[in-house]
Structure 1
Amino acid sequence: MCLVPRAVCRSEESLPTVSSPCLITGGKKLNPGRRLSLVPLSVLGIVACGEIAPIPAEPEVELKVLAWNIWHGGREDGEEIGVQKTIEVIRESGADVVAMQETYGSGEVIGEALGFHFQPRGTNVSIHSRFPILAEVSVFEEFKCVGAVIDVPGAQPIAFYSIWLPYGYEIWAEGTRGPERTLEEMLGACQPSADDLAKMLPLMDAKLEEAGYADAPVIIAGDFNSMSHLDYVEEAKEQHGGWVIEWPTSRVITDAGYTDSYRALHPSIDRQADRTWTPRFPAQQQDRIDFIYHRGAALTPRESRVIDTHPDGFPSDHAALLTRYRLEG
């Protein structure tokens, strides 16, 4: 049956005759030829003659993830003022979930100030979440890894890991990358990071399967204490003292199916703009050593940026890294 286009019928003697069949509300039927008044169907949410009513699109679910080593509990600038500045940086970022390193006793204060759920493990790594935590899925050593399943409203749960990885020896301080430094030594400094990560990743998969979240999207974020093979490439070697290096840590995680969220959105390498180490010591080697990686088709990175400023002085030796994701249900 074809309805009067964009109209419903109301009896009224003074109006012209309408001979087309007409939708009747209230269970009453009008005869053809009766005088009618017309009310737009759009007012009533009804569509005529084969038109399809538009279905309002569901709002996109976004998740803002922050990775940040806060430097000795955020207290380097003072027991109270340093922690307060740390809180302000996190709040200003708009982060929903924080992968924190060097928590060192400040986690509860920070979590309370933000009104976040707090998941610690040991003294170093922790997770702060705006949203409820459904399960703990930690693996490996407590100093280096904490995991949680986050209940994101309007979307499926995500598995979230905050990690800290070790390095072998110093290659960032002034004078540690002189002409005498060999490629083997450069790689050796970051090999402990790669070794630990290679052990963690299969443990994470096994833990998530055991907990019933094998298909959940996964985010791994933190202080990797290693550079990326995606940065030290031929076309950017002039930015890195002539070095072209296949750093092992980033290779381990990308080979496991994870995506570097920052580099995915910033394919052009700018060593200074990209760096997370170190806003406090500009004379040191400036490198990207803090990362947010993700796995799963439900996660699409929309924005990723380095945060390294505060009106009263940035409180950490590591810049924070923020990635904004679109999360599909």
Structure 2
Amino acid sequence: MTTITRRHLAGAAIGAAAAVSAPAVALAQAKRWRMVTSWPKRLPGPGMSAERVAERIAAMSGGRLQITVHAAGEVVPAFEVLDAVGGGVVEMGHTAAFYWQGKQPAAAFYTTVPFGLTPAEHVAWVEAGGGQALWDELYAPFGVKPFMGGNTGVCMGGWFRKPVVGIADLRGLKIRSLGLGGEVYRRLGATPQTTAPGEILTSLQSGVLDGAEFVGPGTDIALGLYRVAPHYYGPGFNKPNGTGECLVSLAAWSGLDADLKAIVAHACAAEATFALSEMERLNAEALAALVERHKVKLETFPDEIVAAARAQSAEILAELAGRNPMARKVHDSYTGFRDRVAGWSRVSIRAVLEARGS
């Protein structure tokens, strides 16, 4: 073998070794983040959204950004996700914006508003109606960047241990209900509670709660609420949408290369779309199982409750808009978009459903 041939073979071997070792080197240098959530581990709906966001980011980044997902209580309690991410305890969180309305009233608009935008309308507002820019501005003081990271779709009005036949039945009733919907229930005479998702069933069993609203059939069935509260009410005027949010620490975000920022953003957007599609299927299947197998009583709120709730909701939104200038900006953007899209929704999806007849 000539000297030139030996040199060529040696060079080829070195190149091959480098090619093989490059992925290992890249993985060794990968960023490793933690994501805390407000959900029980792998809860159908939001819990699975958190898992899939992490999986998508790892896959699209080729392992350069890897995220470990923690259920509520493993690192921080369910309602401390915002502080944990903004304070640098972890890099990422998966939660719901209306948990933070005590810190910033306008946050509730980014989960859902009673009698507000439907899932498709909400996505249109955030992505194409100016909502995302206001969301970024709203959360900047907390040190986080928000993304839509899931959606549980149209929600239900709640599970009740006893029938609700009129407003009088709501007076003094202890109901797990968060966000602006919880305030509506309060003004109708109920006593809203901020019970963490993983504690709802035991609270109903012990009598700490008389009723609870969480999401919709596809998620609610996993919590087993039907076992002790067999009356399932709609319409979900309190939560016509169910956007889940992904939070990224601004400090961690600023440390990402441009391609990794794009990957995080796209992973969240993909999950927002997929989750809504999946929940349509899960809700339909779970509702049938609840009614047919578990003998849940599917019931409709009396007209007087819906009318009273609508009136209270209008007052609540007007009051919220007066809380501070940022709340006014978000309120005006949201309600303005709702007014503009209402005409189209009436002649499109509403008319189609009425024409379909089922």
- Pick the TM interval, shorter chain: under 0.3
Higher RCO structure, 1 or 2 (CA under 8 Å, sep 6+): 2
Higher strand share: 1
Q: Which has the larger radius of gyration?
A: 1
Higher helix share: 2
Q: Structure 1 length as normaliser, TM-score?
A: 0.27
